């Protein structure tokens, strides 16, 4: 874990207020795992006061990327960062996806900005595993394809790809996949994760998901990000410390 | 001048510098030790401990507000037994004063927690949380009642020889009345302030942003309130005060000392920059050297009004 000032290398607008920030940090780039996250202080001012958590989106040599949409004050500031400006980064935080398990095909399921962690996942397993990527959104402009391969699309309004949810699209595609040889990696809104959990449990499919929650510190001291465990009712897990990646069977969604 | 004495005395307690880490912002010390050398910190105050483990409140527990944050963690903690078994062995490896913060639903529970923990050699002092705004029982219901605060102080003091600090609520009209009750009941010091009760609503859903509805406001937004409360206590009651509330840098520490704090606690800042407490200690030393102050504690209560 580091708390470092790192220079912004590039700010890239993908589309529709979705941004990539490329940050130079050999320390972080060399150790961060797909699924881990960074807690970023967007400015030295007291407003916004707290850091903002972002999944690592990708890593290229000595740089890492984060992906975000302009949602509030913090992300508005981030979107206006120029190359050379320093940014205060705390990380890497949390755990990552278990990419090395015994499976042949990685099924990536991304809802909206839930695409954020998957370019790095794709980069890490390309060549060693097959990949099929299901990307869903409410409408065509929500679909984020950046850094993904072998893509199947869905939209709630039918404006692009399959009309329906991304989990329905995955369910319809199950016959073409060998259920015993796949592992699902998911990230997206809670409704999507809930549907994915139901499907994966009924079909006995191994599935890990990256979760999100409002948090302050990102490393376990503020206790601000509880998530209910399936196994232990008398205490919560913490998204920042025990996650953000969980086996979908282990958490209540 | 080439050396500065940063040490401070708070009643019977002596700390190597005035920077203590506030309860609820450093867990039990484990996580923050990955960022800073605890041997250099003035002291550490644990997450509130209760007799039995507490699960805490359901999410959402925190929300950011202008220059501050609201939290309603609900005193999630491992309980006294687990703390002694699995947390003390970690922290006792460090040469840092350990102050156990205790939260309870009844006076008997405060007493029982203190009685059990006082037997632990690693525990140097107690901070009694009579002012948590986020739990249904105990907490503020005691913190708002002068007689209850006096009773808790007296009964807790009766079962320990170690120093007892009472953490006061700012959600009262005259905090000095509570500080006086602590002094008259044998308390060694007060810490002020705990968080202010606050809330925030989503204007589209019309629902509270925190599941518990109300939370405790902390961060730089509350600093002026905290300074006023410390000053009120200092002017009315002869009891050492540990100042808390929105400290973000060394200048804030100096300001808290001037209005009457013998030491301070760093809270919300630990979430933003866990390395900040050490930076502040270094900057305090530099400030003293520049300003020709040989003993930092001389600043306590040095206000000119």
- Kind and range of the H or E element at B266? strand B261-266
φ, ψ of residue A5 to 5 degrees: the values are -95, 120
Of B55, B102, B132, the residue nearest A232 (C-alpha)? B55
Q: What percent of chain B has pLDDT over 90?
A: 92
Both tokens of A196, joined, read 């994915």
The alpha-carbon gap from B27 to the nearest alpha carbon of chain A, in Å, equals 5
User: Any residues with CB less than 8 A from the CB of A249 and at least 6 apart, and which?
Assistant: A197, A200, A201, A207, A230
φ, ψ of residue B33 to 5 degrees: the values are -65, -15
Interface contact A226-B76, CB threshold 8 A: yes
> Rounded CA gap, A161 and A156, in Å?
10
Write down the domain spans for chain B: 8-56+73-196+218-299
Q: pLDDT tens string for chain A (253 positions)?
A: 899 999 999 999 997 789 999 999 999 999 999 999 999 999 999 989 999 999 999 999 999 999 999 988 899 999 999 999 999 999 999 999 999 988 999 999 999 999 999 999 999 999 999 999 999 999 999 999 999 999 999 999 999 999 999 999 999 999 988 888 999 999 999 999 999 999 999 999 999 999 999 999 999 999 999 999 999 999 999 999 999 999 999 999 9
Q: Taken in order B155, B156, B157, B160, is the CA torsion positive or negative? A: positive
Q: CA A122: distance to chain centroid? A: 12
| DSSP output for B133-146 | TT-SSSTHHHHT-H
Per CB-CB distance under 8 Å, the chain A contacts of B279 are none
Taking the model in full, what pTM does it have? Answer: 0.95
Of B115, B131, B135, the residue nearest B226 (C-alpha)? B131
Confidence at B3, pLDDT banded by 50, 70, 90? confident
* Contact call for residues A213 and A222 (beta carbons, < 8 A): no
Q: CA B31: distance to chain centroid? A: 18
Residues of B with active-site annotation: 132
- Kind and range of the H or E element at A41? strand A37-41
Note which residues in 25-84 of chain B have CB less than 8 A from chain A. Answer: 25-27, 31-32, 34-35, 47, 53, 55-56, 58-64, 66-69, 71, 73, 76
Beta bridge partners of B57: none
Interface contact A216-B32, CB threshold 8 A: no
- Specify the pLDDT at position B139: 59
Q: How far from A12 is each of A19, A26, A192, B125, CA to CA, in Å?
A: 6, 20, 28, 53
Q: B108, exposed or middle or buried, with CB in 10 Å at 0-12, 13-18, 19+? A: exposed
Q: Indicate whether B141 pLDDT > 80.
A: no
User: Any residues with CB less than 8 A from the CB of B236 and at least 6 apart, and which?
Assistant: B176, B179, B180
* Average pLDDT rounded to a whole number, residues B63-83: 96
* Average pLDDT rounded to a whole number, residues B247-262: 98
The alpha-carbon gap from A200 to the nearest alpha carbon of chain B, in Å, equals 25
The alpha-carbon gap from A1 to the nearest alpha carbon of chain B, in Å, equals 8
* Contact call for residues B22 and B45 (beta carbons, < 8 A): yes
> Rounded CA gap, A79 and A70, in Å?
7
Interface contact B76-A3, CB threshold 8 A: no
Write down the domain spans for chain A: 2-93, 97-210
Complex-level ipTM beyond the 0.85 threshold: yes
Pick the CATH number of B8-56+73-196+218-299 from 3.40.50.300, 3.40.800.10, 3.40.50.620, 3.20.20.70: 3.20.20.70
Kindly report, residue by residue over B88-112, the tens digit of the pLDDT: 999 999 999 999 999 998 899 999 9
Both tokens of A239, joined, read 């998204």
Q: What percent of chain B has pLDDT over 70?
A: 96
User: Any residues with CB less than 8 A from the CB of A86 and at least 6 apart, and which?
Assistant: A5, A6, A7, A8
For the domain bounded by A2-93, which CATH number is listed? 2.40.30.10
- Which residue from B minimizes the CA distance to A217? B271
> Rounded CA gap, A53 and B301, in Å?
40
Confidence at B132, pLDDT banded by 50, 70, 90? low
Instruction: Go through A28-65 and write b for each residue having 16 or more CB atoms within 10 A of its CB, e for each that does not.
Output: bbeebbbbbbbbbbbeeebebbbbbbbbbbbbeeebbb
> Rounded CA gap, B256 and B229, in Å?
10
- Specify the pLDDT at position A16: 79
Confidence at B131, pLDDT banded by 50, 70, 90? confident
Of B186, B189, B181, B194, the residue nearest B160 (C-alpha)? B186
Beta strand pairing call for B241-244 and B68-71 = unpaired
Say which of B59, B73, B219 has its CB closest to residue A213. B59
φ, ψ of residue A241 to 5 degrees: the values are -100, -45
Q: CA A124: distance to chain centroid? A: 14
Both tokens of B291, joined, read 């300003």
Kindly report, residue by residue over B191-218, the tens digit of the pLDDT: 999 999 999 999 999 999 999 999 999 9
* Contact call for residues B201 and B207 (beta carbons, < 8 A): yes
Give the 3-state secondary structure of residue A89: strand
For the domain bounded by A97-210, which CATH number is listed? 3.40.50.80
């Amino acid at each position: 874990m580091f708390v470092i000032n790192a220079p912004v290398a590039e700010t890239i607008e993908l589309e529709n207020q979705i941004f990539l920030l490329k940050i130079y940090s050999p320390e972080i780039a060399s150790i961060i795992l797909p699924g881990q996250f960074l807690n970023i202080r967007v400015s030295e001012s007291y407003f916004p006061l707290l850091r903002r958590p972002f999944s690592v989106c990708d890593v290229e040599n000595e740089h890492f990327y984060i992906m975000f949409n302009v949602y509030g004050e913090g992300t508005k500031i981030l979107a206006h960062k120029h190359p050379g400006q320093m940014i205060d980064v705390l990380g890497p935080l949390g755990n990552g996806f278990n990419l090395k398990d015994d499976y042949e095909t990685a099924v990536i399921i991304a809802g909206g900005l839930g695409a954020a962690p998957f370019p790095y996942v794709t980069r890490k397993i390309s060549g060693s595993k097959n990949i099929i990527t299901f990307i869903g959104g409410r409408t065509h402009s929500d679909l984020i394809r950046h850094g993904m391969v072998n893509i199947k699309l869905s939209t709630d309004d039918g404006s692009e790809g399959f009309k329906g949810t991304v989990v329905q699209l995955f369910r319809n595609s199950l016959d073409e996949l060998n259920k015993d040889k796949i592992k699902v990696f998911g990230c997206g809104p809670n409704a999507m994760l809930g549907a994915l959990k139901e499907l994966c449990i009924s079909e006995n499919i191994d599935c890990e998901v990256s979760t999100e929650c409002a948090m302050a510190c990102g490393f376990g001291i503020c206790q601000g990000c509880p998530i209910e465990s399936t196994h232990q009712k008398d205490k919560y897990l913490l998204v920042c410390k025990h996650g953000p990646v969980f086996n979908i069977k282990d958490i209540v969604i | 001048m080439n050396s500065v004495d940063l040490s401070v005395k708070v009643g019977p307690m002596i700390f190597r510098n005035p920077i203590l880490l506030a309860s609820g912002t450093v867990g039990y010390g484990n996580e923050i030790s990955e960022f800073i050398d605890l041997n250099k910190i003035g002291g550490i105050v644990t997450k509130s401990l209760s007799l039995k483990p507490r699960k805490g409140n359901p999410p959402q527990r925190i929300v950011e507000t202008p220059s501050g944050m609201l939290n309603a963690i609900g005193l999630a903690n491992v309980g006294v037994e687990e703390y002694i078994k699995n947390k003390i062995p970690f922290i006792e490896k460090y040469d840092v004063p350990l102050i156990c913060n205790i939260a309870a639903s009844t006076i008997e529970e405060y007493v029982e927690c203190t009685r059990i923990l006082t037997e632990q050699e690693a525990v140097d002092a107690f901070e009694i949380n009579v002012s948590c705004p986020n739990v249904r029982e105990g907490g503020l219901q005691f913190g708002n009642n002068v007689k209850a605060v006096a009773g808790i102080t007296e009964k807790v003091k009766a079962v320990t020889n170690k120093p007892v600090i009472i953490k006061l609520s700012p959600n009262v009209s005259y905090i000095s009345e509570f500080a006086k009750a602590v002094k008259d009941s044998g308390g060694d010091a007060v810490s002020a302030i705990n968080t202010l009760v606050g809330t925030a609503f989503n204007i589209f859903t019309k629902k509270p942003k925190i599941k518990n509805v109300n939370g405790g406001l902390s961060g730089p937004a509350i600093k002026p309130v905290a300074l006023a409360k410390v000053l009120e206590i200092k002017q009315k009651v002869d009891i050492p005060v540990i100042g808390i509330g929105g400290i973000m840098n060394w200048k804030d520490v100096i300001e808290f000392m001037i209005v009457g704090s013998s030491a301070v606690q760093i809270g919300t800042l630990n979430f933003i920059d866990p390395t900040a407490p050490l930076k502040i200690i270094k900057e305090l030393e530099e400030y003293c050297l520049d300003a020709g102050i040989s003993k930092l504690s001389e600043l306590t209560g040095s206000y000119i009004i």
